[in-house]
Chain A
């Protein structure tokens, strides 16, 4: 059997996205390659979610080009996504994961064992039988991660996955993200949380007003930001 083609690098070439005369992204050129997590930061409306949707192949640019491993299309089989408020299917926690495994094409006989592994990884083994909608916010976010990992993704896009979580749950999610990244899965994550960006990022992309203002390795971004917007962001000033 032929190995699936790699989705990486995901290249954005002069990408613009507009909706009803409003520019959401302008002239975005960016390469997402294998390696440590890429963290997208920026204020609300900066275009972070749109960039993630483009990377997932869930939206098309109005102008410019997005490619996955040199191809103009992706079937999305090895792309996973977790949104800020993931929707739980009206099933048990366990069934949510087996559903994701089914959509990923995993054979019926292998789903139960794999689901148990994924739930263990998300520290949800003891919640397997509970209705997913009754889980706490943190548990739901971890279940969404388990579901996304069911696809055995090469790239995992996370849209502010800890925005509404307390520190303990944030830590739990971050531990999963770090473990996932250590396994070689490319994590692309949007966040408002500068501290989280410091803890997780290999490189940082600062988006303001739909444009990339700075893209640099995390250490460089935080120690010597090159643009006034990045400097203001790092100082903790309000960047609008």
Chain B
């Protein structure tokens, strides 16, 4: 075991694929980025206002909804993938859209996976900020919708971290995209599904190359987000 790991790490072909600009590898990387970023953006559009709504609005059963929302942060990707598959399959309610085994289906499924994460963390962040702002905004007679907009804007630096958590979950998962995307070569193959496939085939160089790129990308995205957050905090306090 230890010997084979050493061999893989020392295998120059993995780095060669990454540094050599291998076309197949970068097509997979590009698709993965498009799918995960789109899923995170779509989820953010829905989950940010939803989380803020749950933070600010009292309604019967709110406690139960929050417990469910928090629990859904740990949803198994294969279960979400299965649910999305049933929704999008030919006989499912959204079957007429013909999305199954397309990148759009992968975006939709990943968004379903990420929405609870962003919504739950947003709710907590906004609720904490609301406790701080309540008297001030109430005295200024800020209405419900401007209040949500204000809190989301003022919590923007914390919410960057929330969005990163969502993106990280989308970029790292394999089960959902495997089920609704089908791992079709050159069409729906992402880094994670490719790594799983190439490892099972024994093509460890490509799997390693993809793994290096995936980790590097996640580090780069986090570094960029951290820099933006830091610069913003210095400017806005």
The interface of chain A, by Cβ under 8 A from chain B, is 56, 58, 75-77, 80-81, 83, 86-92, 99-100, 103-104, 130-134, 147, 151
Contact = CB atoms under 8 A, between A and B. Distances in A.
B135 to A, nearest CB: 6
B139 A87 contact: no
Contacts of B237: 88, 90-92, 130-134
B67 interface: no
Nearest to B129: A90
Contacts of A89: 133, 136, 150, 154
14 contacts: A56-B139, A58-B138, A58-B139, A76-B141, A80-B139, A83-B139, A86-B136, A87-B133, A87-B135, A89-B150, A91-B236, A100-B140, A104-B140, A132-B237
B185 interface: no
A1 to B, nearest CB: 20
A75 B139 CA distance: 11
Contacts of B141: 75-77, 103
A150 to B, nearest CB: 9
B129 to A, nearest CB: 9
Interface of B: 132-133, 135-136, 138-142, 146, 150, 154-155, 157, 234-237
A160 to B, nearest CB: 14
Contacts of A86: 136
A81 B139 contact: yes
A89 B155 CA distance: 10
A90 B152 CA distance: 11
Most buried by A among B132, B135, B142, B154: B135
Interface centre among A77, A103, A134, by most chain B C-beta atoms within 10 angstroms, is: A103
Contact of A131 (B136, B142, B235): B235
A132 B235 CA distance: 10
A85 to B, nearest CB: 10
Contacts of B133: 87, 89
Contacts of A58: 135, 138-139
Nearest to B143: A103
Given A83-B135, A131-B236, A90 B154 contact: yes
Given A83-B139, A100-B140, A132-B237, 18 more contacts: A58-B135, A58-B138, A58-B139, A83-B135, A83-B136, A87-B132, A87-B135, A88-B237, A90-B154, A90-B236, A91-B154, A91-B237, A92-B235, A92-B236, A92-B237, A103-B141, A103-B146, A134-B237
**8 A-B pairs with the lowest CB-CB distances in the bound complex, closest first:** A131-B237, A133-B237, A81-B139, A90-B154, A103-B140, A87-B136, A76-B141, A134-B237
**Residue of A87, A88, A90 most packed against chain B (CB within 10 A):** A90
Contacts of B140: 100, 103-104, 147, 151
A145 B140 CA distance: 12
A80 B234 CA distance: 30
Contacts of B139: 56, 58, 76, 80-81, 83
Contacts of B138: 58
A93 to B, nearest CB: 9
Nearest to A144: B136
Contacts of A131: 234-237
